[in-house]
Amino acid sequence: MLAYTYVSPGKFELCEKPLPSILSPSDAVVRVTLGSICTSDLHIKHGSIPRAVPGITVGHEMVGVVESVGSEVEHVRPGDRVTVNVETFCGHCFFCEHGFVNNCTDPNGGWTLGCRIDGGQAEYVRVPYADQGLNCIPDNVSDEQALFVGDILATGYWAARIAEIQRGDTVLVIGAGPTGICATLCARLKQPKHIIVCEQTEERRQFVRKHWPEVQVVSPEHCRALVCETSSHGGADAVIEAGGTAESFRMAWQCARPNAIVAVVALYNEAQVLPLPEMYGKNLTFKTGGVDGCDCSEILQLISDGKIDTTPLITHRIPLNRIADAYALFESRQDGVMKVALTEKEGTSY
């Protein structure tokens, strides 16, 4: 089968590999019907994720059809349409039991798929702990509607949850990349009074305006003024930082009202500064880190009910056999690309 492979830093290549098989009784093998490329894949490509193992198949955003299951798998059966979770988690360790699945203590726990074990930019993928990592897609939800459930939409949903948004709040989301937009769509479900999305590029500001006209959009230079004008408490009640730069980090706490929650879901390339003397008395709560992707069935239900729709994020569709073109496009950010959907290789028919 075709598998996009991390050969060495800077080099990904489409290789021919044997089909994956069940290695443990809790595994499933999934035929990938739709995949995508994430910024984290680019981080692997450029060598900034040292734990990534050369030779592995990359890709951790995908949906598919279960092909086979191990003897201990109970929740999915061959033929089921499923989303695949970015995180591998055992479901029974201390962290899993508390919903902190990102910190699962299994040797393969956390983000492993497409990083330390073979991922899904391939025709098939083996998914460990399939009962935890796979969720059945409701019949009225298409592959495109479900594509982001296991990764960026899980992140957006989790971000909106840990930001503890209340009805009537003013919410600031920094960064209108795919994750920031997913967070915005999930924040909306909490019925805040105002959602302000701060984004640097005009193209992405336009994109948000076009698809979600009820959201206020602002450039970084006008953000603080707009947030203060909009909120009656001198800042946002909840801030979700998905920008990932020193400027966006600073803006996150500066635009928060006293006692606000700042949920930092961005991944930074370098350490950030918390200027505590300047913040003294503002009494902020910071929540940081990587997604606990444990709400996927709830998210699928919300999609099925018509409450979340991330399909506008799919701006391009390219078959697996032309995945190098898809990477080039995604990396260049040309042609208004937000997300590329990787369809099955040309000539595939089932």
Residue 314 touches Zn ion, criterion: CB under 5 A: no
Single out the residue of 44, 76, 96, 141 in contact with Zn ion (rule: CB under 5 A): 96
Element (H, E) at 102: none
How far is Cα 25 from Cα 167, in angstroms, rounded to an integer?
Answer: 45
Single out the residue of 104, 153, 238, 300 in contact with Zn ion (rule: CB under 5 A): 104
Q: Segment near Zn ion (CB under 5 A), from 42-50, 114-122, 144-152, 330-338?
A: 144-152
Residue 151 touches Zn ion, criterion: CB under 5 A: yes
Kindly tell me which of 151 and 237 has the beta carbon lying closer to Zn ion.
151
3-state secondary structure of 273: coil
How far is Cα 197 from Cα 190, in angstroms, rounded to an integer?
Answer: 16
| 266 burial level (CB within 10 Å; 0-12, 13-18, 19+) | buried
Kindly tell me which of 156 and 192 has the beta carbon lying closer to Zn ion.
156
Please give the size of the binding site for Zn ion, defined by CB under 5 A.
Answer: 8
Single out the residue of 5, 33, 40, 245 in contact with Zn ion (rule: CB under 5 A): 40
In whole angstroms, how close is the CB of 106 to Zn ion at the nearest point?
A: 5
Residue 90 touches Zn ion, criterion: CB under 5 A: yes
Q: For residue 333, give the amino acid letter.
A: R
Name, in order, each residue with C-beta under 8 angstroms of 225's C-beta and a sequence gap of 6 or more.
Answer: none
Kindly tell me which of 109 and 235 has the beta carbon lying closer to Zn ion.
109
**Contact indicator for 218, 195 with CB cutoff of 8 Å:** no
Name, in order, each residue with C-beta under 8 angstroms of 287's C-beta and a sequence gap of 6 or more.
Answer: 162, 163, 261, 262, 263, 264
How far is Cα 42 from Cα 340, in angstroms, rounded to an integer?
Answer: 14
Per-residue tokens: 18: 């044997």
Residue 14 touches Zn ion, criterion: CB under 5 A: no
Residue 30 touches Zn ion, criterion: CB under 5 A: no
Kindly tell me which of 96 and 183 has the beta carbon lying closer to Zn ion.
96
Residue 115 touches Zn ion, criterion: CB under 5 A: no
In whole angstroms, how close is the CB of 349 to Zn ion at the nearest point?
A: 29
3-state secondary structure of 221: helix
Q: Segment near Zn ion (CB under 5 A), from 39-47, 247-255, 276-284, 322-330?
A: 39-47
Residue 93 touches Zn ion, criterion: CB under 5 A: yes
Residue 160 touches Zn ion, criterion: CB under 5 A: no
Kindly tell me which of 48 and 191 has the beta carbon lying closer to Zn ion.
48
Kindly tell me which of 22 and 267 has the beta carbon lying closer to Zn ion.
267
With vertex at residue 24, the alpha carbon angle to CA 23 and CA 30, rounded to the nearest 5 degrees, is: 65
The CA-atom distances, in angstroms, between 285 and each of 32, 238, 259 are: 40, 10, 7
Residue reference for tokens 């279960």? 66
Element (H, E) at 296: helix 296-304
Q: Segment near Zn ion (CB under 5 A), from 96-104, 133-141, 216-224, 290-298?
A: 96-104
Per-residue tokens: 256: 């928060």
In whole angstroms, how close is the CB of 60 to Zn ion at the nearest point?
A: 6
Kindly tell me which of 104 and 176 has the beta carbon lying closer to Zn ion.
104
For CA atoms 339, 290, 269, 116, give the dihedral sign.
Answer: negative
Residue 38 touches Zn ion, criterion: CB under 5 A: yes
**Contact indicator for 256, 262 with CB cutoff of 8 Å:** yes
In whole angstroms, how close is the CB of 97 to Zn ion at the nearest point?
A: 8
Residues engaged in binding Zn ion (CB under 5 A)? 38, 40, 89-90, 93, 96, 104, 151
